[in-house]
Amino acid sequence: MLYLGCPQWSSAHWKGRFFSSDCKAADMLSEYTQIFNSVEGNTSFYASPKPDTIATWSNAVPEDFRFTFKIPKQISHELALTHCQQELRQWLELFSPLFSQLGMVLLQLPASCSPQYLGRIADFIAQLPEELTLGIEVRHRAFFAKGDAEKRFNQLLMQTGVNRIIMDTRPLFSESPSTPAIIDAQQKKPRVPVNVIATAQAPMLRFVGCSDLAANRAFYAPWLNKIRDWLNEGRTPYVFFHTADNYDAPLLARQFIQDLGVAHQVLEPFPAERQPQQQALI
């Protein structure tokens, strides 16, 4: 099974292009699930939703759809994984109604989180319920240097069944900072090496594309064989496509799947493409 999606399910830019022209904000998640079978939920990194909001999300998606949500930055950044038991317990309780629909929870660690924090990372992993799948994204350069620190980190993930999240931002940084969206994205996204490894059953790729859709092919070409390999090994990859402003992210995802050559719902007509076109008055 290949899970595919974008870093959001709601975008005014997608209305009339991918979503139906009359799609209301409250209906965007439902229409999103007609295109993708997963989503990278970034909003939980900044603020926790209300319980009734989680119930609404749960009811808006089909049974085979899988959410991924980031663990709050209060835990990963502000508390640096220390003395966070209460905050983590409250967050898990809040999201517990979605557990059966969670493909993965994501722990994004700051660049300041160096190999000396491996003990904290291990302690944090031990606090999570076994029913949840965890993915961890690191940004400190030592975790990409192919030395002892990276080996110890990867071994920890393999021993605990945790997925190492891979972020490929090469396409984003290949283009000049010519628009406010590109400038903003290049300032916020990490420019780290792409170390390809599957430490557990559900490897995750976050691919940040460039503005020229066709130009992305040169960057994701090696990923086509890697995704095929993972699928043949019986793994369950998660692949999320970003662009600087996410304006064309669904088109990038569709292009990737076309080149991958596997069946996926993103190849079906988008809700906007299925919507009858109003004939011009003569």
Please say if the pLDDT value at position 282 is more than 60: no
Q: Which fold has domain 3-267?
A: TIM Barrel (3.20.20)
Amino acid letter, residue 133: T
pLDDT score at 275: 73
CA distance 47 to 74: 9
pLDDT, average across residues 17-31: 94
Helix 118-127 to helix 85-95 angle, to the nearest 10 degrees?
A: 40
pLDDT, average across residues 261-280: 83
Taking the model in full, what pTM does it have?
A: 0.94
Tokens of 203: 């490897």
Any alpha helices (H) in 116-237, and if so which ranges? 118-127, 148-160, 170-174, 180-188, 217-232
- The number of C-alpha atoms within 13 Å of 190 and in the hemisphere containing its C-beta is 19
pLDDT score at 26: 92
pLDDT score at 277: 60
Question: What is the pLDDT confidence band of residue 278, given thresholds at 50, 70 and 90?
Answer: low
CA distance 9 to 23: 12
CA angle 205, 271, 6 (to 5 degrees): 15
pLDDT score at 281: 42
pLDDT, average across residues 110-139: 95
Element (H, E) at 29: helix 28-32
Across the chain, mean pLDDT equals 94
Question: What is the pLDDT confidence band of residue 280, given thresholds at 50, 70 and 90?
Answer: very low
Phi/psi of residue 224, each to 5°?
-60, -50
Helix 51-60 to helix 85-95 angle, to the nearest 10 degrees?
A: 40
Which is more confident, 276 or 15?
15
Domain locations along the chain: 3-267
pLDDT, average across residues 4-33: 95
